Amino acid sequence: MSIQLNVNGQDETIDSATDTPLLYVLRNDLRLNGAKFGCGLGQCGACTVIADDQPIFSCVTPIMMLEGRKIRTLESLGTEEHPGPLQQAFIDEQAAQCGYCIPGMMMRAQALLERNPKATEAEIRVALEPNLCRCGTHMRIIRAVLRAVDAMAGA
């Protein structure tokens, strides 16, 4: 059984059971490290990616529901050599401890900033509610997203 997915602008043919959650396809078949396995239950947000313009939990979204949608992962935001504005903001704020939750935070923040480029601190806090961080990096995550708001406005 094969399924066509569009990931980070590339068409991909995936040979996996159609009920396979997107997360495993991204991580194993497409070798994309951004989305992380945290709970597989839609409770922590570590696996957050964007489908069209919505943040989704890739751990509970079967690939059969994603045909024809444009999926974006952390890797679409930039590279180590050329980090995108949100990535640069997280680097500038040193917004990571173990970093495991960070890619999911960033993709949820990215979806917010695309929808609402002038997001306030209060709006950022509300938007990030589904995502857990156990290291207590929250203050820096909020600061990094605010910094990205400024950077994108100035760009």
Interface residue with other proteins among 3, 38, 111, 119 (CB under 8 A) is 38
**Residue 10 binds other proteins, judged by CB under 8 A:** no
Q: State how far the Cα of 25 lies from the Cα of 46, in Å rounded to an integer.
A: 15
Interface residue with ligand FES among 114, 135, 139, 150 (CB under 6 A) is 135
Q: What are phi and psi of 42, to 5 degrees?
A: 70, 30
Q: State how far the Cα of 135 lies from the Cα of 151, in Å rounded to an integer.
A: 26
> Which partner, other proteins, ligand FES, none, binds residue 47 by CB below 5 to 8 Å per kind?
ligand FES
Sheet holding 10-15, edge to edge: 10-15, 2-7, 70-72, 48-51, 54-57
Site for other proteins in 56-85 (CB under 8 A): 73-75, 77-80, 83
Q: Which one of the spans 44-52, 62-70, 84-92, 112-120 is the region binding ligand FES (CB under 6 A)?
A: 44-52
